Homo-oligomer: A and B are copies of this chain.
Amino acid sequence: MKLKISYEEYKRRVKKVKEELSNRNLDLLLLTGDKSIFYICGFTHIATERPAVLGVPLDGDLFFMGPLLEADHMRLQTSLVKEIRTYIDYPGEKHPIKLFAKWLTELGFGKSRIGADNPMGATGIYGYVGPPLNEEMPEAKFIKSGDIIWNMRLIKSSEEVELIRESAKWGNLAHHLLQEYTSPGMWDAEVSMLASYEASSIMKKTLGLEYEPIRAGRTPASAGFRGQVGWKSAIPHSIGIGRNIQEGDILVTGAGADVGGYSSELERTMIVGKPSAKQERYFEVMVKSQEAAMDAMAPGVKCSEIDRIANKVIAEAGYGNLIRHHTGHGIGLEGHEPPWLDVGNDLELKPGMIVSCEPGIYEIGYGGFRHSDTILITGEGCEVITYYPRDLESLTIL
């Protein structure tokens, strides 16, 4: 059983970046995105105000420039990064970006063509301020090249698919417990915490000590409602509601699990008590829209086409004005990532892409209806990785 990306795959990824650097006539790629750094070398860290950069040179080994507190952490996690240069902390007596410019020059990149996901040299969160790295290296040429990694991340390898499949199992368990514990009078957050805690505990006991969470600050497996409870289910990214769950509530859920840093996405619409005719109708149209979109997913089909197909079902039922977002997004190391299943994205689906499929219907003041499943695009069509029941009867809490 594999719970992590293999060393060999990281080596393949580095090789691929180097090929792309060669194609683009670049000497170096600098990465500041925490998930992109993890993708290339397996080093996971908590991104903060402290600038941290992974360097992938066209020739030679990976190097890292970052805060002292990540140096030993990196050595423990990856053997691919051969040189680690650190500053004590941010902002420091000399600003980290000035040190990065100095170190890059010492490493021979002072006049190079440098690709960067962010020419600032820092993600810039938590009130960070600093000079842009490209301005500190006037003789180098910086070229925005974040797409090198994003293009790679767009197509999942068999190892990545395996981790996302494993994630779907534990998301399923978390969701099962969530449904089991949901009842009128409960605080939605409490149901969520209890289900997440138990599912995570069982996951660890099942997978054994080899299992380690990669994502900080979240439960390893999780299920919850993000505040989509009762009339607030009509707010797709609601966060809380100032009352407990009640009879008659529409609930929109979400579940997943961190396996080797990857996650799956499972969302369901549940009804507390016997569904009304209106609830049934919205539910039915939402499911039909999701099915139509899933049926259409196959290599060569444009992402925009999938969004149009899902929207058409909703519009033909007379609810076109109740759409609040597009049909889906990529899933992998981030909760959302390319490709976007959106009318504005004409990118064609390809085997190995993994996307959510989640058209929704939202009536303000009443409620929202959305399932989300994790879909793998295959050679001929697609495969639905998540498998929690989708029918209303199974999702009714009596």
Binding site for B on A (CB under 8 A): 44-46, 48-49, 67-70, 72-73, 76, 88-95, 118, 124-127, 129, 146-147, 150, 153, 187, 189-190, 193-194, 196-197, 200-201, 204, 209-210, 212-220, 226-227, 234-244, 323-326, 329-330, 334-338, 340, 342-345, 364
Contacts of A49 in B (CB 8 A): 329, 336, 340
| A129 surroundings in chain B (CB, below 8 A) | 146-147
Q: Which residues of B contact A334 (CB under 8 A)?
A: 125-127
Q: Which listed residue, B70, B201, B212, B237, touches A237 by the CB 8 Å rule?
A: B70
Determine if A89 and B45 form an interchain contact, defined as CB atoms under 8 angstroms apart.
no
A235: contacting residue among B76, B196, B220, CB under 8 A: B76
CB of B342 within 8 A of CB of A91, answer yes
Decide if A216 touches B226 in the complex (CB within 8 Å). yes
The 10 closest A-B pairs by CB, nearest first: A212-B240, A193-B197, A89-B326, A92-B344, A91-B344, A69-B236, A69-B324, A127-B338, A126-B336, A93-B344
Residues on the B chain within 8 Å of A325, using CB:
67-69, 88-89
B residues in contact with A219, CB < 8 Å: 189, 193, 219
Q: Are B127 and A324 in contact (CB under 8 A)?
A: no
Q: Are A242 and B210 in contact (CB under 8 A)?
A: yes
For this chain, the copies found in one complex come to 2
- What B residues does A48 contact at CB under 8 A? 336
Chain B residues whose C-beta falls within 8 Å of the C-beta of A345 in the assembled complex: 91
A67 proximity list for chain B (CB < 8 A): 325
Instruction: Give bound CA distance, A337 to B235, whole Å.
Output: 30
Instruction: Establish whether residues A94 and B237, one from each chain, have CB atoms under 8 Å apart when the complex forms.
Output: no
Name A193's contact: one of B94, B201, B336 (CB within 8 Å): B201
Contact A344 B95 (CB under 8 A): yes
Shortest C-beta distance, A184 to chain B (Å), equals 15
User: Is B194 in contact with A235, judged by CB distance below 8 angstroms?
Assistant: no
Selected from B72, B153, B326, the residue in CB contact (under 8 A) with A364 is B72
Distance between Cα atoms of A11 and B345 in the complex (Å): 40
Knowing A89-B325, A94-B344, A217-B218, the reply to whether A235 touches B72 (Cβ < 8 A) is yes
Give the shortest distance, in Å, between A232 (CB) and chain B (any CB): 8
Chain B residues with Cβ under 8 A from A93's Cβ? 343-344
Question: With a CB–CB cut-off of 8 A, which chain B residues contact A197?
Answer: 190, 193-194, 197
Q: In whole angstroms, how far apart are the Cα atoms of A197 and B335 in the complex?
A: 23
CA distance in complex: A204, B191 (Å)? 13
Please give, as numbers and ranges, the residues of chain B lying within 8 Å of A187 by CB-CB distance.
Answer: 201, 204
Interfacial chain B residues near A124, Cβ < 8 Å: 118
> CB distance B190 to A193 under 8 Å?
no
CB neighbours of A68 from chain B (8 A): 324-325
Enumerate chain B residues within 8 angstroms of A44, measured Cβ to Cβ: 239
Q: In the complex, which residues of chain B have a beta carbon less than 8 angstroms from the beta carbon of A200? A: 189-190, 193
